[in-house]
Structure 1
Amino acid sequence: MPRSGRARKLIGAFLAVLLAGLAMTVTAAPASAHAIVVSTDPANYRVLDFSPPVVSMQFSEPIEVGLAGLRLIDPQGTDIRIGQLGHANGKSETIAAAVPDVLENGTYTVVWHVVSADTHPVQGAFTFSVGEASASGAPELAGGGADPVLATVYTAVRWVGFAGLALLVGSAFFVAWCWPGAADRRRARLLFWSGWGGLLAATAGTLLLYGPYAVGRSIAAVADPAALGTALGTRMGLMQVLRALLLGVAAAGALWYPRASRRRQDAGAKPPDHRDRIRPAAVVLGFAVALAATWSLATHSAAGAQVALALPIDVVHLVAMAVWLGGLAAVGAALLPSGDLAAMRLALPRFSRTALVCVGLLLATGTYQAWREVGTPSALFGTTYGKVLVGKVVLAAVLVALGAAARRWVRRHYGFAIVTISDKRRARRGPGDAEVTRFRRVVAVEAAIAAVLLGLTAFLVNAEPARAEQASERAAVQGGAAGGPANLAVPFDTGGGPAGRGQLALVLLPGQVGPNEIHLSVLDADGGPKSVAELRVQLSLPDRRIGPLPVPLQYAGAPGHYVGGGVRIPLPGNWELALTVRTSEVDETTVRVPVSVR
């Protein structure tokens, strides 16, 4: 931490403004990380005497009908016509659709998708039968899936948004705190307006893309006005509208501030001192908090039991990232090319101390976010989210190392006290052209790494959190390749030390379309029976985007032994069993096992 009183005051002002702004963001009500099905009508696996007039579902949180959908599939794999989707009995937690035609005997599959409280798509399925269960399943159909083009474009738009946030906030804070004389500099203003324009374009792009992305449509649906209208009615859409309004305020402030600075200079005002810089820097940070909240209120941070802590921490993380990376861009693209030795002597040490504070905040908040979204070492290295996060951490470490080298360079050339005439000459002369060129190259490399980091951040924001995705790639899964009975054992590790490790012995009989039975035994590391706090099983067919189908388990009487009877698998294909084990209040993992059903 910097030792000077000026740096300590900077840190105090920085944290005070952040905490004041964050107090306004923690009022959002807690929500589940993902919408959970409370009940379905007809119930899952139920055999009905008559064709149901309505298919309905109840969730653990309110559902936006505009972004929800239901499909009813008959035993032959054909979609059945159903009525318009709406809320059942006026309850926002339910969705329902009428079944206008009388269904023939057989097993039917209901495939659903909704948008969770954290604005991420959630999907699943359940089955029911009319008269009697089908003796054989439907032929396997071509799989669906999210439009890869739309997903790629949506991630790219999010990257532009993060880059715009960094340039906008970072360049504004750099001018306000580190280099007040740059308010009229063309390069500094170009950085600000580039960030402003990029963020505005990303905001508009998110509004256009979010509706089709959330409901799994193709990128062609972006041209559908109804998709835009639907998106505007969601929390994500409201945050984009709020962000656009904030950008309007930022534009007005950016046009006013240089004129006010010129009027002060024309009036003969003295150069701004430490106190004069606090107010504009505080205004920039307060505005940055408001902008960052439009992200945090529409991501994983706004959902889950720790929302009151996770939400402000995410805002701090975003603001620190923007101040650091945007300031870095201002150093490389505006300050160093200016050749202003006096400005460099003042601005570079100020930014160096600011960057140190930002890195400390990023380290603390990033550690908490990683724990919240990943949870266990097995998830960190066994999930897509965890692996991308590891790559981000490695790149961030390289960036911090380069920043440390740059900080030493700044202290060597600008951090010395001016006592003697020789010191004055050295300060007036500044570093040589060759040294400045090398320093600019280091800054350019830092900026390139920062751009990659923002891309990884954009991916992680859209990705399923590792706690929900957890899977063990170490599982030695065998059998079931051609369909039929599955008998295997897979290890698990919930991250709670020796008490969180063990294995799951699984038997699926007969492993065919129709009624099946699952036997599960939880074993400790030595192969003995093991009791756990909770055990859940779900079935999914990823190729058809069907699932997860919840599998009801019953305690079989023996320690650690559970049975799931009457599991009706409606279609053949490469199914996936998700076995979720919880060994304590906080230690949980999910092991995913592929099972082929014929």
Structure 2
Amino acid sequence: MIFTRFTLKWGKRHWALVTCLLLVCCLVMPQWASAHAYIVKASPGENEILVAAPERLTLEFNESLQTAFYDIKITGPDGNQADDGNVHVDADRPHILETGLQAGLGNGTYAVNWKAVSADGHPIQGAYVFHIGEPSGSPAGLSDLTSGSGSTGGPLKWIVSLTDWIQYLGLSVILGTLAFLLLRIAPTSMTREPMDVPGSYRLLWISYAAASFAALVSLPLNTLYESGVALNELSWRLIGSALKLTSFGQIWMLQILIVMLLAVTILSGYDRDRSIRARIWSSYGSLVLVLGWLFTHAMTGHPAAADQRALAIAMDFIHLIGAAFWIGALTAMAICLPPLADKLPSKVRGEVYWVAIRRFTAWGIGAVAALVATGIYSSLIILPAPVLTSLFTTAYGLVLIGKIVLLIVMLVFAWRHARLARAATGSRLSGSLKAELATGAVILALAAVLTHLSPGQPAAAGPYQETKTTDDGSAITLQVSPNVTGENQFEVDVKHADGSIVNDLEQITLSLTHLDMDMGIYEITIPKNDTGVYKAEDYISMPGRWNIKVHLLTKTLDALDAEFEIDTTKP
């Protein structure tokens, strides 16, 4: 027999390694670092009534902002601009965005529309109102009210995700192919040197071209995404701002440097005029550069906004390496092994595949352990508490569930291939290898999508309705529809203990308090009537949990009170 026989058993060392990794990530239990910034304090605040006009408006966020593509526009009750245009991020406190106001502002209601780019590179925007003197009703600009922690981007977000996916795929194949050649996964007895494996050169260059093209076009696409401008407004000035002032732009320049160096090392690795030793060392250089490229991806996105930033980036980097190695090495085996096997007699041809799979599986155990451990850690720091609830009620959590399910599918395929490798039956890789590769490609696509999804954005909960009973037996029912940020209808129904309708109310007041951030108390007054059904149209400015205190006063000055808690989402 030409090949060395390998056996694969889960020994005590394997189980100890996996257990330790899982314990480490579970015992850390980091605090949630919210992906996508949101306002924790505004001055003037939401619906605050001021006696005199303020000199400036200040927005304080939960995390630092990037110093590009931010703005605050304040519109007065007459529809004219009320800010002085001097919008800036505080140099000493990068989580503060502020602007001055014009002098001599009159009484009325003012609309504030703002936008910024959070530390993780995601554009956010929002709006709210404050009043000088008596409120003047709905001001111009209020129709643009959006989530205070919402992100922008629309379809462009998915195009940016597509470029990330192409980079992930390309880098995975390059990393996996180099590992296949250099880490003795390929049957070395079949070739004079690792770089002689048929098909590897073309596979490396195709993957390199795809990843490089995706990296190049990502600059204008991310500039459009983060700035929020239309395609026809894209300019070299905007691109220059992205390069100089955003974390993505600075990392992009590093990626392009890696792209150029990687082309040199790949060429050197296959240069026949150089010694075998020099060619192998050049290929190791390519491996290091690909790892560096993957590290730049770990430096952007949600880990960049974590409280324990260095640890979060390191965990994401290890996660990317594990996934890239697994998927890339499988691709290399599927493409490079058949030409090698075809050189052998048919009776021993299958041994090429099974030796490679046994060698790959020995490395794959470590990749799986890294994926599981770092995946748990990332979920703990990104998903808002309670984690299990967020896992099933947010778009981010649902996509993450899909990724987990597909990872389990890949593990089932890997287990099957390992069993076949031990048995060493058949002359070809099974068709399930292609299914495993396809599953891996989808997992990388979901990983790219997760990079641009906000974990703090719950799925739509629908209209809210609940009934509370007071001490005297009266039933107060509150309805909020559609229960999203923006305009909503608030409806209060009240019934006596005997079921009769209470229609003699003199005062109906709703007091809203956000439970996740300091926004003060926002009051809604519902007009009285004699129908027993009390309705009002008003705004909810932020997503998240709100406490609503319903205070009712009858003609006989009896007070009826009840408290409700709603969970409002972004439309």
CA 1:61–1:565 in 2, change beyond 3 Å: closer, same or farther?
closer
**Distance in 2 (alpha carbons) for counterparts of 1:79 and 1:390:** 46
Counterpart among 324, 327, 330 of residue 328 in structure 1: 330
Per the TM alignment, residue 84 of structure 1 is displaced from its structure 2 partner at its CA by: 4.5
For 2:544, the equivalent position in structure 1 comes to 578
Q: Is the 8 A contact 1:69 1:114 kept in 2?
A: yes
Residue-by-residue CA offset, 1:285-308 (whole Å, 9 max, x unaligned): 644442222111112122222334
Counting only pairs closer than 5 Å after superposition, residues 507-518 of structure 1 correspond to structure 2 as: 517-518=510-511
Partner-residue secondary structure (3-state), 2:119: coil
Percent identity over the alignment? Answer: 24
Residue-by-residue CA offset, 1:235-282 (whole Å, 9 max, x unaligned): 1111121122223222222122233797339x9xxxxxxxx99x8897
Quick one: which amino acid aligns to residue 348 of structure 1? Answer: I
For 1:317, the equivalent position in structure 2 comes to 319
User: 1:382 and 2:372 equivalent?
Assistant: no
For 2:209, the equivalent position in structure 1 comes to 197
CA 1:303–1:319 in 2, change beyond 3 Å: closer, same or farther?
same
User: Which sections of structure 2, spanning at least 5 residues, go unmatched?
Assistant: 19-31, 344-348, 467-478, 483-487, 494-505, 527-535, 548-564
**Distance in 1 (alpha carbons) for counterparts of 2:364 and 2:273:** 26
Partner-residue secondary structure (3-state), 1:518: strand
CA 1:43–1:386 in 2, change beyond 3 Å: closer, same or farther?
closer
**Distance in 1 (alpha carbons) for counterparts of 2:405 and 2:239:** 38
Q: Is the 8 A contact 2:459 2:569 kept in 1?
A: no
User: 1:232 and 2:243 equivalent?
Assistant: yes
Per the TM alignment, residue 458 of structure 1 is displaced from its structure 2 partner at its CA by: 0.6
Q: Which has the higher helix share?
A: 1
CA 1:281–1:351 in 2, change beyond 3 Å: closer, same or farther?
farther
**Distance in 2 (alpha carbons) for counterparts of 1:101 and 1:462:** 40
Partner-residue secondary structure (3-state), 1:119: coil
Partner-residue secondary structure (3-state), 1:65: coil
Per the TM alignment, residue 311 of structure 1 is displaced from its structure 2 partner at its CA by: 2.0
Per the TM alignment, residue 60 of structure 1 is displaced from its structure 2 partner at its CA by: 5.1
Residue-by-residue CA offset, 1:190-210 (whole Å, 9 max, x unaligned): 221222222222222221111
**Distance in 1 (alpha carbons) for counterparts of 2:160 and 2:354:** 42
For 1:171, the equivalent position in structure 2 comes to 177
Counterpart among 385, 394, 406 of residue 417 in structure 2: 406
For 2:533, the equivalent position in structure 1 comes to none
**Distance in 2 (alpha carbons) for counterparts of 1:313 and 1:174:** 24
**Distance in 2 (alpha carbons) for counterparts of 1:154 and 1:566:** 41
Per the TM alignment, residue 62 of structure 1 is displaced from its structure 2 partner at its CA by: 4.2
Counting only pairs closer than 5 Å after superposition, residues 280-295 of structure 1 correspond to structure 2 as: 286-295=288-297
For 1:448, the equivalent position in structure 2 comes to 438
CA 1:260–1:283 in 2, change beyond 3 Å: closer, same or farther?
same
Counting only pairs closer than 5 Å after superposition, residues 507-586 of structure 1 correspond to structure 2 as: 517-518=510-511, 536=515, 551-552=519-520, 564-566=521-523, 572=538, 578-579=544-545
For 2:567, the equivalent position in structure 1 comes to 592
Counterpart among 157, 161, 170 of residue 155 in structure 1: 161
Per the TM alignment, residue 464 of structure 1 is displaced from its structure 2 partner at its CA by: 0.6
Q: Is the 8 A contact 2:268 2:282 kept in 1?
A: no
Counting only pairs closer than 5 Å after superposition, residues 414-429 of structure 1 correspond to structure 2 as: none
Q: What is the RMSD computed on CA atoms of the aligned residues? A: 4.3
Counterpart among 88, 96, 99 of residue 98 in structure 2: 96
For 1:187, the equivalent position in structure 2 comes to 199
- Give the TM-score taking structure 2 as reference length: 0.71
CA 1:261–1:334 in 2, change beyond 3 Å: closer, same or farther?
farther
Residue-by-residue CA offset, 1:426-476 (whole Å, 9 max, x unaligned): xxxxx43xxx1xx352222122111211111111111112xx234684985
**Distance in 1 (alpha carbons) for counterparts of 2:334 and 2:37:** 45
For 1:469, the equivalent position in structure 2 comes to 457
**Distance in 2 (alpha carbons) for counterparts of 1:343 and 1:42:** 71
- Give the TM-score taking structure 1 as reference length: 0.68
**Distance in 2 (alpha carbons) for counterparts of 1:121 and 1:92:** 16
Counting only pairs closer than 5 Å after superposition, residues 23-422 of structure 1 correspond to structure 2 as: 33-37=35-39, 39-59=41-61, 61-75=63-77, 82-87=84-89, 92-100=94-102, 102-135=104-137, 141=143, 146-177=152-183, 178-179=185-186, 181-185=193-197, 187-221=199-233, 223-233=234-244, 234-259=246-271, 263-264=275-276, 286-338=288-340, 339-340=342-343, 341=349, 344=353, 346-374=355-383, 375=385, 376-413=387-424
For 1:23, the equivalent position in structure 2 comes to none
Per the TM alignment, residue 403 of structure 1 is displaced from its structure 2 partner at its CA by: 1.5
**Distance in 2 (alpha carbons) for counterparts of 1:112 and 1:80:** 13
Quick one: which amino acid aligns to residue 189 of structure 1? Answer: Y
Q: Is the 8 A contact 1:486 1:595 kept in 2?
A: no
Q: Is the 8 A contact 1:55 1:96 kept in 2?
A: yes
